[in-house]
Amino acid sequence: MVSRAVMFQRYGPPEVLEVVDVEAPTPGDGEVRLRVRAAGINPFESKLRAGLFAGQIPVSFPAAQGTDVAGVVESIGAGVDTFAPGDEVYGASARRGSHAELALAVPGQLLRRPAALDWELAGGLWTVASTAVAAVDAVGVQAGDLVVVAGAAGAVGCLAAQLARQQGASVVGVASERSHAWLRSLGILPVAYGDGIAERLRAAARAAGAALAALVDTVGGGYVALGVELGVAPERIDTIADFEGAREHGAKADGQSALVDIPAAVERVASLIVAGSVALPVAACFPLERVRDAYELLEHGHPPGKIVLTV
Ligand SMILES: NC(=O)c1ccc[n+]([C@@H]2O[C@H](COP(=O)([O-])OP(=O)(O)OC[C@H]3O[C@@H](n4cnc5c(N)ncnc54)[C@H](OP(=O)(O)O)[C@@H]3O)[C@@H](O)[C@H]2O)c1
């Protein structure tokens, strides 16, 4: 039995990605095999494929890729009693292999898909939902806080901004102008990035009549330092993209791995989406065979929301 799967043989740009026939993965003890319906793509995969983590997380070639996944359980390995063939699930794949027709997963990283959660969104939720929860937890959002989210048009950023609002904060979202109307519709005050951003954030705080209490950085490139400059306490700054800045300023760098219960965090965000209290658009869907186009869009400026491969 074969499976079509995205593979790459060397580090490089999206052109190194190929969709090839591989032997169907066999679920080992405690694993399930999914017939994939949708699989989100993430900036982490771009960085891994480009070799930016070659020192810390080397890959062995040929390499598969993809974490986020939604699909139907097709077969189960020994010892699995929480899922059965036919179950519709979403979560994370095991061993980074979700960009394929068939992928392995472990039950502890799977949730049952609510019928009201579209396959595409379910397939792109695990990483960004858990990371957004971790980042909002890290800065200790309280009702009445004025919170800055850098990268508010991104998948993690828009969820973090909305979760902070859910917790009673007012949120300033740093994003390019094309997303400002959308952010306003979510109750987030948009501020453009680029020259003069410090003054625009000060003006936003003056208009709100409150000091900037916390900052969530999903972009890097100086937002940690900017938060400190604007008077935010370092322990109320969290970055998921600027680890050096966090070290330098004593800020936090909590991402998904800071969570004690990742599935519970993802399930909470999914429930808010299903209830219509939180929005995460699907920016674009591409069939598996067009995986290069999907990453080109991710890496060169994409509309707000998740980019998802459909199978
Ligand atoms: N540590 C972890 O656990 C963890 C987990 C998930 C993701 N991450 C990292 O977090 C980052 C964001 O991930 P994501 O999935 O949200 O990516 P994404 O959906 O591609 O969002 C990134 C957004 O950043 C915005 N942006 C670009 N330059 C900006 C600037 N100078 N100021 C403000 N916004 C800017 C872009 O929107 P506009 O330009 O349209 O405004 C873009 O939509 C990535 O670096 C990813 O690797 C870390």
For the stretch 226-276, pLDDT in tens is 999 999 999 999 999 999 999 999 999 999 999 999 999 999 999 999 999
Phi, psi of 71 (to 5 degrees): -175, -170
Confidence check: pLDDT of 168 > 90 = yes
CA distance 273 to 306: 14
Say if ligand 1 is within 6 A of residue 256 CB.
Answer: yes
pLDDT recorded at residue 302: 85
| pTM of the model as a whole | 0.97
Q: Each residue of 102-149: pLDDT tens digit?
A: 999 999 999 999 999 999 999 999 999 999 999 999 999 999 999 999
Ligand 1 atom closest to the CA of 158, numbered from 1: 16
Say if ligand 1 is within 6 A of residue 155 CB.
Answer: yes
pLDDT band with cut points at 50, 70 and 90 for residue 53:
very high
CATH numbers and ranges of domains, the chain: 2-125+280-310 (3.90.180.10), 128-258 (3.40.50.720)
CA distance 115 to 19: 30
10 Å CB burial of residue 237 (0-12, 13-18, 19+) is buried
pLDDT recorded at residue 95: 84
What is the percent of the chain where pLDDT is above 70?
100
Say if ligand 1 is within 6 A of residue 193 CB.
Answer: yes
pLDDT recorded at residue 301: 86
Say if ligand 1 is within 6 A of residue 190 CB.
Answer: no
Say if ligand 1 is within 6 A of residue 191 CB.
Answer: no
Q: Each residue of 71-85: pLDDT tens digit?
A: 999 999 999 999 999
Say if ligand 1 is within 6 A of residue 127 CB.
Answer: yes
Q: Which residue puts its alpha carbon closest to atom 34 of ligand 1? A: 151
E strand or H helix at 310: strand 306-310
Is the torsion defined by CA of 274, 278, 283, 288 positive or negative? negative
10 Å CB burial of residue 140 (0-12, 13-18, 19+) is middle
Token digits of residue 110? 């799977």
If you search the block for the tokens 């067009």, which residue do you land on? 290
Cα 255 to averaged position of ligand 1 atoms, centre (Å): 13
Cα 152 to averaged position of ligand 1 atoms, centre (Å): 8
